[in-house]
Structure 1
Amino acid sequence: MFRVATPKTEEELEQYFTFRWTYLRKPWNFAPGSERDEYEQVAEHRVIMNGKGEIVAAGRVHLNTAEEAQIRHIAVHGDYLRRGLGQMILGALEGVARELGAIRAVTNSRETSIDFFSSCGFVIEREAPNELGMLKRQQMVKKLTDPGIVMLHPKWCKELQDTWTETIPITEHMGIKLHQYTGRTLETRASLNKNINIHGTMFAGSIFSLATLTGWGMIFLQLKERQLMGEIVLGDGDIHYHKPITMKPRAMCHIESLSGKFAPLEKRKKCRFTLQVDIMDDNNAVAEFRGVFWVLPPKKENDEEE
């Protein structure tokens, strides 16, 4: 399981800067310390931790003006590439930028990173000053006016949200919304106020519903990725609660947790999938859901009973 965290203690910050140097400066033979600049004290820093508490991705954001945020120093551990962690840390930094009041984000991208930022909604605005006097960069910009922006396949995500609203009306009453889809990670959120119990925490049943819909949604989007159709049903679900939710209900499903094969569906046979959904209270892990889902092939017109 991966989680976003903010390095705060001296030790945590030192590990964070060492990580940045290792992946952003050391390959270019720059000395330790070159990873830092004059904005560190006024910037917001974020890392992604794995289940062992190790940093696997990092990044930083600071305000250039009241309306413009600059995102810098995004790095991902070499053993964790192509797992959606780049999009995950970028999404976290964009979220911070919105909370700070920014309506646009800029980043000075090296040529090797342009495709990544382009896939996340950034566009090239102009050439930027070279980094450390030698690394050519382009300034890229993204509007942040839509706080619920989805990074990948927005049409599919809208279809998923509409499907929930039209076929499971309770999702609207619970305030369950798709927050982000990167192709490898699906994040949903719910309104605490609409799901609060007499103890001031989220109903356990609401947490289970949020987790179930998130797992269901991941399979829905994976079917779209493969241009397949089918009816998704929950076969079994098990959830373990560790702490109550008192702030911001979030659910995240990573593609690595999805186990099963889509091939039988192409032969009009049902498919069985298992997956895990991690439940967070803001950035704190509070529960894990493990579910079994079945995907049934769509019926043909002549399959209906006479």
Structure 2
Amino acid sequence: MSAHPLTPESLTRFLHEQIPLCAAMALEVQSVDERRLVVHAPLAPNRNPHGTVFGGSLATLGIVAGWTLLYRALAQAGRDAALVIQHYDCDYLAPAAAAFEAEASLPDDWPALLSRFDSRGRMRCDVPVVLRSGDKHVLSGTARYVARR
């Protein structure tokens, strides 16, 4: 699935090369561990006419955070999979008037989902995402991804 180390820097490069929208948004993977991933984006390339972050950029950052977390988790587990978004549900809680970040976390049932992938060759995984701008909580969502061998 991955021929490169799965560090924040290498994941950022991968996203910019493979998903051009990520480069246009100037997003960066800030941190990653076994259970969570944080992606950051600046205001300037993501602003709307009101001087705040465009809602589509907020949604996209949440989707990218969840996708990248699962991509890395599958690669770390040695699984090769085609991974796509199936559904995204979110609530916009407040405008973001500065740089913003999305945090995605693996669900508690991740080991069972990985086992399902091994036995069936596919799985669905719901990933919770939270977006913040400064200390303000601006979006809560859940992204459902489908992975197939």
- Paired residue secondary structure (2:83): strand
- Paired residue secondary structure (2:87): strand
1:253 positional shift: 1.3
Larger radius of gyration: 1
TM-score using structure 2 length:
0.88
| Residue deviations 1:15-66 (CA, integer Å, cap 9, x gap) | xxxxxxxxxxxxxxxxxxxxxxxxxxxxxxxxxxxxxxxxxxxxxxxxxxxx
2:59 to 194, 203, 208: 208
Question: For 1:279 and 1:210, how far apart are their aligned partners in 2?
Answer: 8
> Which AA in structure 1 matches 2:59?
F
Question: For 1:257 and 1:283, how far apart are their aligned partners in 2?
Answer: 26
**Is residue 271–residue 294 contact of structure 1 (8 Å, CA) maintained in 2?**
yes
> Which AA in structure 2 matches 1:290?
T
The ranges of structure 1 where at least 4 consecutive aligned residues each deviate by more than 6 angstroms after the TM superposition are: none
Could you say which structure has the greater relative contact order, defined with CA pairs below 8 angstroms and 6 or more residues apart? 2
Question: For 1:171 and 1:189, how far apart are their aligned partners in 2?
Answer: 11
> Which AA in structure 2 matches 1:270?
R
Question: For 1:192 and 1:159, how far apart are their aligned partners in 2?
Answer: 23
TM-score using structure 1 length:
0.44
CA 1:155–1:225 in 2, change beyond 3 Å: closer, same or farther? same
1:162 positional shift: 2.9
1:268 positional shift: 5.6
1:272 positional shift: 0.7
Tell me the matched-pair count: 144
Aligned to 1:163: 14
- Paired residue secondary structure (1:155): coil
Question: For 2:26 and 2:108, how far apart are their aligned partners in 1?
Answer: 25
Aligned to 1:235: 86
1:180 positional shift: 0.5
> Which AA in structure 1 matches 2:64?
L
Q: Which moved more, 1:154-163 or 1:277-286?
A: 154-163
CA 1:256–1:267 in 2, change beyond 3 Å: closer, same or farther? closer
Question: For 2:134 and 2:79, how far apart are their aligned partners in 1?
Answer: 34
Question: For 1:264 and 1:256, how far apart are their aligned partners in 2?
Answer: 14
Structure 1 unpaired stretches of 5+:
1-153, 298-306
**Is residue 257–residue 276 contact of structure 1 (8 Å, CA) maintained in 2?**
no
Structure 2 unpaired stretches of 5+:
none
